[in-house]
Amino acid sequence: MIAPFNRDGEWLRCQLHSHTTNSDGEATADGLIEHYVRAGFDVLAITDHWHITTAAHDELVLLPSSELSAKLEGRGDFDADVLAYGIDVLPEPREEFPSIAAAAEWIVAQGGVAYLAHPYWSGLRAEDYLAAPALSGIEVMNAGSELLQGNGLSAVHWDDILHLGGACLGIATDDSHYPGQDSRLAWTVVAAPERSREAVLEALRNGDFYATTGAAILGIDVGGGGVEVRCGPARSITVRSGPWDGCRVDAGPYAMNWRGRVLDRRHDGAITRARFEPPEYWRWGRVEVVSVEGATAWSNPFAVD
Ligand SMILES: [Zn+2]
């Protein structure tokens, strides 16, 4: 079994993008924290724009965080947003970074972890990510963008980056500004040896997590020329790779499966385990599970050999 599914320890439900009245959000910090605690979250990053909202709570691990902006060279007035996790201070002066690379380098120099927010919504391209090697990954799903504008899913950007050789992890977030209306839609499930700020940051650096809108990935095995996936009751399981390259099994009774076969099903036909056999030339894969309810889970990319 590949990491993080082979680990003992805790699985923590993390909300990694949210706003309060300290920037453009509707809830106070205390109100937002209570909202996510009641919803069963273990970890919250309050990512107010250019503001570190500090708070403490007995049950919730709070990651000191902010959403910082950077100029996009040659794109008029457009800019990019970079999520900064685990920073205790803001840049001085508090003005937009000249580039995504400069923002990500500054965050990492503070001991933090940098993720590129909503690439689709920001009009970004794979090249924008690849020019900033200090980034750990992207938001593959930003539920707020998806809910309001239909541009929250950046899976194509992700595949482009990976195909061009970039190292890129994928988180899912709410980007909630109006908790209750645009919250509890997407989150990141982190495998951590303990419930602490440091353990969660380390998992975000290393890719010990999967992203989800409600579907569950339980295990991924890579070996013997194949990829085996265990998951919560699924409508389909896909192994993505570069252009032309994918494998899928589907629960539909007449569906054609491609480079994969179902190993276990629930009584109603939902898939819970499948094995895939990608062609030998594949270098990497990533798993997407669509649950019977229509939610999606995204694994991080892994080596296939
Ligand atoms: Zn935001």
Q: Which of 169, 193, 211 is the last residue of a domain?
A: 211
Residue 5 lies in a domain: no
Which pLDDT value is given to residue 155? 98
Separation of 173 CA from ligand 1 center, angstroms?
A: 9
For residue 262, the domain's CATH number is 2.60.40
E strand segments, 27-60: 43-46
Which pLDDT value is given to residue 182? 98
Q: Which residues contact 141 (CB under 8 A, 6 or more apart)?
A: 152, 153, 154, 172, 173, 186, 211, 213, 296, 298
Domain match, 50 and 100 both: yes
Separation of 19 CA from ligand 1 center, angstroms?
A: 7
Q: Is the pLDDT of residue 121 over 80?
A: yes
Domain match, 281 and 137 both: no
Separation of 67 CA from ligand 1 center, angstroms?
A: 6
Q: What are the Cα distances from residue 147, in Å, to 93, 139, 173, 177, 296? A: 34, 15, 12, 12, 15
> Over the chain, what is the mean pLDDT?
96
Q: Is the pLDDT of residue 9 over 90?
A: no
Domain match, 236 and 207 both: no
Residue 232 lies in a domain: yes
Q: Find the domain containing 248 and state its range.
A: 217-303
**pLDDT tens digits for range 39-83:** 999 999 999 999 999 888 999 999 999 999 999 988 888 899 999
Separation of 288 CA from ligand 1 center, angstroms?
A: 25
- Confirm if 244 and 291 have CB atoms less than 8 A apart: no
**pLDDT tens digits for range 19-36:** 999 999 999 999 999 999
Domain match, 169 and 290 both: no
Element holding 249 (H helix, E strand): strand 246-250
Paired with 303 in beta bridges are: 284
Separation of 141 CA from ligand 1 center, angstroms?
A: 12
Domain match, 14 and 142 both: yes
* Residue of 78, 146, 138 whose CA lies nearest to 113: 138
* pTM of the predicted model as reported, rounded to 2 decimal places: 0.97
**pLDDT tens digits for range 199-234:** 999 999 999 999 999 999 999 999 999 999 999 999
